[in-house]
Chains A and B, each alone.
Chain A
Amino acid sequence: GENVEQHPSTLSVQEGDSAVIKCTYSDSASNYFPWYKQELGKGPQLIIDIRSNVGEKKDQRIAVTLNKTAKHFSLHITETQPEDSAVYFCAATKQGAQKLVFGQGTRLTINP
């Protein structure tokens, strides 16, 4: 089955700097890669996703890149703000309503 590894487990950056979180997956058949943000006491919220037919996707300060050959994908947050502080999870699946397999999460702290 699919296995997703996520690094780093914790990340601390200065406000205004960029943050990068990386994930690798094992199943070459996986074709859908979402990222979720989880704030304390809340459920995970989808922030961006990418499908295997594209290499990069951007939404304002957030971008995701996908390297299918190497089986890894990354989340990039630019111009970080205090409200970006949260736990971020990557996930992978074969689309078609299959279960998501999650990475272990990254606790991101933005220092003012």
Chain B
Amino acid sequence: GAGVSQSPSNKVTEKGKDVELRCDPISGHTALYWYRQSLGQGLEFLIYFQGNSAPDKSGLPSDRFSAERTGGSVSTLTIQRTQQEDSAVYLCASSSSNSGNTIYFGEGSWLTVV
């Protein structure tokens, strides 16, 4: 696609429920990132995928958070047993060495846990 695509754009869920957020990176981009942005705050790194290498999961805040990337393209971020402090914008980004490793962001998935 032309840009990084994320879905859903908005999600309201009840505390304790699981949610899945999807990211479709720019076609051909080998690197994929997830960041979290709480209201009025900066961007917090969550996880990074590069090709077939093991992902860098160092930013995941707890074991309720997980992510996978199937076939080196689409990624899903899963949050289990959501809590109110999980409310934030979840941003996906992708990059490629063919485009100078410039990192491009999607519009984000706005998650509200009530």
Known A97-B97, A99-B48; contact A44-B42, beta-carbon cutoff 8 A: no
Report how many residues on chain B are interfacial, defined by Cβ distance under 8 Å. 23
Known A42-B107, A99-B56; contact A105-B102, beta-carbon cutoff 8 A: no
Known A43-B91, A43-B107; contact A99-B45, beta-carbon cutoff 8 A: yes
A100 interface hit (Cβ, 8 Å): yes
Chain A interface residue number, banded: 20 to 34
- The chain B residue sitting closest to A101, CB to CB, is B45
B78 interface hit (Cβ, 8 Å): no
Specify the main secondary structure of chain A where it touches its partner: loop
Q: Are B43 and A102 in contact (CB under 8 A)?
A: yes
Q: Which of B30, B31, B43, B50 contacts A44 (CB 8 A)?
A: B43
Our count of residue pairs bridging A and B at CB distance below 8 angstroms stands at 48
Q: Mark A88-112, 1 if CB is under 8 A from B, else 0.
A: 0100000111111111110000000
**CB pairs A–B below 8 angstroms (26 shown):** A36-B105, A43-B4, A43-B91, A44-B43, A44-B91, A45-B105, A46-B104, A49-B102, A95-B101, A96-B101, A97-B30, A97-B50, A97-B97, A97-B101, A98-B48, A99-B45, A99-B56, A99-B59, A100-B43, A100-B103, A102-B42, A102-B43, A103-B42, A104-B42, A105-B41, A105-B42
